Structure 1
Amino acid sequence: MEKLNFRCDRCYLPDLLGQAGLLVQFSDAAQPDVELRRAAVRSMANLCLSVPGQPYLDESYRSVCFQTFLTVLQSSKTSDVDDITFCMLLQNALKGIQSLLNGGKMKLMQTDQIGSLLAVLKKCMFHGLPGLSIEMPTALYPAPLPQYDKRSPVKQEQSEPATFKKKSKGKQKKGELAEEGREELGDAGNESVLGAGMVKLHLGDVQNSPCSDPRTGTSDVVYVPAGKDPLSSHYASWKRISSSESEYSDAEGGIQSKMRSYQANVRQGALACFLSAIKSIEKRVLYGYWSAFVPDAPGIGSPQSVSLMTIALKDPSPKTRACALQVLSAILEGSKQFLSVAEDANDHKRAFIPFSVTIASSIRELHRCLLLALVAESSSQTLTQIVKCLANLVSNAPYSRLKPGLLTRVWNQIKPYISHKDVNVRVSSLTLLGAIVSVQAPLPEVQLLLQQPSSSGLNNSGSATPHRFNSCEQWRKALPSEGEPPDNPAGCVSSEPCWLLRLCVSIIVLPREDSCSDSDANFPAFSSVYEPCPLRLESLQNEQQMLCVTLLLGLNHSENPLVKAAAARALGVYILFSCLRQDVMFVADTANAILNSLHDKSPNVRAKAAWSLGNLTDTLIINMETMGQSFQEEFSDLLLLKMLRSATEASKDRDKVKSNAVRALGNVLHFLQPCHIANPRFREAIEESLQALISTVQSEATMKVRWNACYALGNVFKNPALPLGEAPWTTQAYSALSSVVKSCKNFKVRIKSAMALSIPSKRECYGSTEQFCQIWSALVVALQRSEDTEDFLEFKYSASLRTQICQALLHLLSLAKSTDLPVLRETIAENGDAIGSHVLQYLKAGVEENEAGVHTDLCERERALKGAIKHLRGVEEQQEGKARVRVALYLEGVLANHANATGLIEA
């Protein structure tokens, strides 16, 4: 039963998931055999897994499974069920819901459905969390304030007094307890800063570097009785109970440890399921439940509601804490429009609390909790998630509407982590600093931070921090007064360059001179201790190069999927080395090895192999452009056909494989020569690969996959040997790209589709007049819709989208023939003003780097417009009388307006 999955014959599904199906009966809450019920739920979860290349479950079966899983999660543990079995039952139900959300692309639309799911997920997120037990309603509803999540008074009374009682039995004094808490703050072996009976709330900057002994530094800490503060930890004292103090034997201890492990797995499964749910719920709907999962400052005399930050601060498992922070990051991502209503710059004295103040209070509490988690965390993986979460918060919070000081605390506390031993922590810390610098306004607070002298920045020890402002009043006193220039604020006079700028330059130019945060000046650099020394492959002797290549090709056949995946990825890096990519034999050997890994049963191996195949096909194009026909003739036709078929098959795999498989398809189709296209063996493979690309562009895959598919079609259009404009697939490809450029939610995908539509260099490549005019009309519509989006984050790409569409329109105009002009004239008559204004803005943009990274200066844009005018004038001269079209005159008017505007600006 447990081995059952979707590979079973679909004809058995009614017997399994029908109204009286076996799995439905066995998974019922009335089933007396708990093991049988658990096996049935697990089998049902396996049926919900997505199998590449096979159709997914019908809607009716999905509904049955979802309701079954929901019922399991809503049920309470009975006395006849042991804790571990109940945990396994919950895990299976959570995995089933996650599979429905991921593989089934299930969209949560109904309020009752969303509320019921979020309620059980919140309940499971805290399952077995030491010292905390909550009771949740059957459903959550959108509300501006935290909802009912009553904590179990029995368990609280049992946990808190017992903890203090055991501590009072020891010989430890009150002062020693405080010292223990301070040592615990930086102890790498401990999981949390929250001590027993005392909570340390970090209000200022952190002096101690994560790389040095934390007890040598100082920090501003306030000690608050645990019963009075919402962040008090119950598990810290429970965790410190030694074996002599515990009241259970070694055997009981093993059972307890196993149970805690299973409970942690339930919490992790709930958070993973929540992450999938976030992607299935519209953001505007999700933010209605903001208060249920994001902390808010507690009212006077009332405890703080449990939230994701409760897990991030209190959970003993680093993996669970990291999962909670990932979920919080997903909620914060794209929240700028929602958070923009926040405001607390003015003191509100009203009988009620406005919603704007509530959101502002929540933002402040998020800052406080995340900074507290930052100094408490010892796991590098979780630490990276904390910093990423802070970066998401900083990118979306409206600091111009909030009281100053928040960014200063984040700035001061993150700087020591720039020298952290873990490279991921260092990278995310720099990303966070970049987010602070990029805050809209610009804010005086950020300007003042950047003007701090380097002596107040990150010196060799990594422990110094800029001057800190402990209160809003002190901060305002330090801001420049009306009569002072902004670059010379009061109390902060320095002629030294910005320390952040110096740091970034040193990392880029001198990456190995970044010294460790240690008092010993002779201590080796971080980059040489924690990272391999950079070495050019060309500098190795031939025998050493051959050894490296031979080892990788051998390891690519390893039975260990982790080793095989790493080897496949390394081959993808090696194929980019200029000394190897021109060797046809090495390229062939690498291609065979990568294709072998592309059919591996491990999804991770296939994903790495697909990435490497994309890199390998990139080198084919580079070699074709640099080495000419000699390389193409030497490369095996049979291997090229094998690559084409394998990439087509991989394009039907999961998204992580598909995104690079379509990239490889585009490159291979670009690489094909006339002899390949005329070869009957290639004909079917070419047709299948093109259909795979077109269907991927039109699919509901992730935006990265669709972006790569549009890019791949653009590469296909570059191959003059393909019958572009004649073959039936041409119409399908243009239709798919035209649809995407008009309506895709992601502007980057729109930009790439517009770019692909502008690639064909001849009018014949666009096919019939009808098809050419359809493309023209689609681009005009796309130009008019270039600011229409539901996602606030997409607006920053709207200018690049308009630039690319204008380039495509001018390209089409420069190729148009006489039969195309009636439609062009009609479009200009209806939308001439809108098109003209966009083209004028395109010309005025000057030097601009578009989404593809290509610099197009003003002269190039003017030349494109003049070229279109010259071509159209020649076409119009061939027509007579009323047939003469005024398109060229219209464009000349646009050019004249641009010239007049430019002259006024210069004058």
Structure 2
Amino acid sequence: MAAFSDNSEIFSNLSSKIINLFLRRTEGNQDIISKTLDDLNSLNYRYPIITNPTEAILLVNQCCSFIPTDDGILVQKYSQLLWNLVRHQNLLIEGKTLTLAIQWCLSGLQTRDKNVILDVLQALDTILRSNINKQIIPVGHVVRELCKFLQSRSEKCTLEITLLVLQCLEACTTISDDQKAGSDLHRPLELCSETFLNHLTKKATDSNDLVTNKILQTCLVGLQNVVLQHPGYLLTELGTILGVIKTFMLLGIKNVDYIIPQKLMPSALSIPEIPSLTREKKGGKLTKQKKHRVSGTQKKGKPNACEHDTTSGGYVPATTLLDYNSDSGVGDKSTSFTPYSVVLGRMITELHRSLSLTLHEMSIPVLTQALKCYAALVQATPYHRMSSKLMTKVIRNVKPFLYHKDASVQVTALIALGCVLSSEPVLPETTEAMLKSESSKCKQKNDDSLVVDDVDDCASFNDSFEYADFEEPDNAEEDESHGNLGIPWLLKRCLTNLGVEIEETDSSKGAAPVKLESLQILSVMSTKYFEKFILPHLSLIVKALDGALMDSYIDLKLHAGRTVDFIGQAMSKYLSNEDKVIEVPVTQCVHFWKTLLNKSLVDLFQYEENPVLRAVACDCLGSIGPHIFEQLPRDKQILCVTLLFSCTRDGENSVKGAAVRALAICVTYPSLREDTGFVLDTAEAIYRTLKDEHLSVREKASWSLGNLSGALVLSSKESKEAIEEISSEMILKLLKACISGASDNDKVKMNCVRGIGNLLQLVTEEMLKNDPFPDTVEKAFGVLVKCCTTGSNMKVRWNSCYALKNAMQNMHLYKKSYFTNKNWQVPVFNALNELVVSFKNFKVRINAALALSSPKCREHYDNFYYSVWTALLKAMENSGNIEDFNEYKHRDNLVEQICLSLGHLTTFLQVEDLLQLQSTLQLYEDSLKTHMSKVTERLVPEKSTQLSEAVYALNQLEKRKELDENGRQVLERFKIVFQPDI
């Protein structure tokens, strides 16, 4: 700091000295001024020096006023000082001083010394660029003077001078908004464009020369600025500009010759000829060909022509065509059209090849950017549609950089491999390449190089790096057999970065960014490769996570907590899959959670100053899963529940919401679901947070209420005694909370309607005898009808339809004696009938059809039995009318559900219904037969129970004695519909 203050003081003293010299104007001062300028230029301007900008502006003003432009020595030294002040000290020159400085620079170009001209142009370029968006500059005057300078010295200008002049012109083409509004700059822009085009349309020059390429780049950037600022110029010079683009877009590509840009003209498109269609003859008859004579004049023009050749009706051409047709199907014929998908595939493959070549570079910034590009390319590439082994090449090219000496390269390599693991769908070659255990083939020997012993497993930096075919070596089978028994190499590297010593040589820990990205890799692995990568090595992974959770670095704790959450969810999903054979003992999974619950995970709840950590800790407890939770020691179970309940009263919204969500997950566990005290405490916590003023908390509370109500329904089906312990007051309170939440934000509404449907299933006949319940139930149905028929959020609508389906399964709700409004079914059935027939969203129509099949007996349909029949038949007829093509994927599911709902209605069919439905069936019979036949063939037996019951009901109805002849005919048509094989 002392050095900086000294430099500032020196600059101030020298500035005052030179200003005083200018004011006195005595003879002999020129040498002193030159010496003072040298002293000023010797200061280190890369650090802040100017403490008084006004003093520096005064220095610039005085120098521009008194330094003559014909004194080459002083001009050169002052130009360097001006460049330092503006470029490194960010000195803002404004007003008259700006105009004076620009005019001084333009006057300084009159000198003959090339070195002086270079310094003057450099200073001018810096002034123009630093003021382009801050102060209006005389663009027109600058452009005219620079163009005049180029024209007068075109033969004497070196490439360096030409480059600087063009850079100044390019700086003039970037104009501030003030100038666009206030002055007519079209002519200066056109002058700049003409200069740029003159240099771009010259004869071919050395494209390997750096200065030449910079000149071309500057001209192209300037031309782009002109087009953006002056659109009218593009209309007049479009052909010339397109010609320039056509030439320079291919410049530098190998084996592509340079073509001087030429003005492109609109091409006159020719009208394509319509091929003549040869009329095919039937019956094997051939039209007799007439042999046209060739005139004698033509015969004489043919050397060695004979009478037979000229009168044979074109024998040689005819036989030639026959020869071609005889071989027309042999081999691949070249076509004039290449499918876009093929072109795109070749482009992607070429991008992979080019990026792998870029990995030859030793520059750290280049490697970092190349690996980032690799990551982006992997995310955008559909590898399942590309040639095989392309993903393997990516993995082997990136793998060596996990051991690079630079942490940033390691991080980007991990990012690229994380994108590989996230690629959809999962490819067998990805799993195969990742499962190979780590050997000594890719190790970091020292800080300067990577040792790569085998090109098959690790891409090297020599020629085989790019062009290696990655064939398996001779000992591939041996490596594979041993590799599958060990830890995957990527997992091992991540654990090593996190400080887990797997082998004696694994003692190095990664830098903080490397550790963070290693945790990201573990999270990605758990989502798609849990069974093969994570599960067999839980004991090592829990060591890494336990250490990361106890690390002092907050971000590392946060990422470790999220990784625990991901692994917990994957573990719970794996153990819940009844179809899979559990290969790893559950005790290992229990040990995983016991280790974390001993200290590291619990400590996250103590961070009062960091609510994000506490929220993540709540998420982790919510991901334990029922299988693990049931086997945890009792003290650990109590610990988890206690921590979550305490967090529901936290002052931070994120913690409160995460805790309530975790409790709603825990309430689905069998042991906790049977604990009435826990269920009631959870219900109270959810009810309390549902009234929170923050939307994010209410959203999670509403989701939790839906989960809680679902758990209560499940308990009621398993044991009626369990649900009887839940007071009717609590159910009424939760139902009212859901009704209130249904008028909230859509994110809250979609969960509250789900809760209404579940809670209405719990309403018993005893509850309906109490006064508040009937009115609340009617309000609940009214809310569901309103939500399914209004609003633009489709999820709210189909959740409402599904909630109606759940509610209509409760037989107690159909007893009208308990309701003041005797026909609550009227709005419900009318709304569902309307939705299933014509609503644009097919998922809403599917749930509406599902709801129409939920009543369990004929009496529950009341007077709507026939209208439901008609609505479902119309819905099937309209299933082909699709306004939005995105709904097409749901069409088959809609038809299936309509058929199942019709089958459910058929089970309630009575003799007197046959004649009532005769006309309706006749109207839609053909469509019903077609769709029912397809659905019957497509559905598996487990899903076609309703159709089988419909057939059984029709057979039983046929045995009824009161069935007359007309009724039997209608019944026979019903049987043909549901049994198309009879």
TM interval, shorter chain, is 0.3 to 0.5
Which structure carries more relative contact order (alpha carbon 8 Å, separation 6+)?
A: 1
Higher-Rg structure is 2
**Which structure shows the bigger proportion of residues in helix conformation?**
2
